[in-house]
Amino acid sequence: MIHVITGTDTDVGKTVATAALAARELAAGRRVAVYKPTQTGVQPGEAGDAQNIAAWLGHPTGLLVAEGIRLREPMAPVDAALVEGGSAAVAKLPVLADHLARITQLAADYDTVLVEGAGGLLVELTAAGENIADLARALGAALVVVSRPDLGTLNHTALTLEAAVNRGFASGTLLLGSYPAQPTVLHRSNLENLQQLAARHGWHWAGAMPSGLVAGDTGKSLLTAGMALTQLRAAAVR
Rg (CA), the chain: 17
Q: Cα–Cα distances in Å, from 140 out to 36, 133, 237?
A: 17, 10, 7
- For residue 40, what is the DSSP state? E
Cα dihedral 33, 3, 210, 10, rounded to 10, equals 100
Residues marked active site are found at: 36
Give the residue among 86, 79, 97, 139 at the shortest CA–CA distance from 114.
139
Q: Are 137 and 163 in contact (CB under 8 A)?
A: no
Tell me phi and psi for residue 234, to 5 degrees: -70, 165
Residues 6 or more apart whose CB falls under 8 angstroms from that of 208 comprise 149, 175, 176, 179, 191
Helix (H, G, I), strand (E, B) or coil at 160: helix
Q: State how far the Cα of 162 lies from the Cα of 99, in Å rounded to an integer.
A: 25
Q: State how far the Cα of 137 lies from the Cα of 59, in Å rounded to an integer.
A: 30
| Chain center to CA of 192 | 22
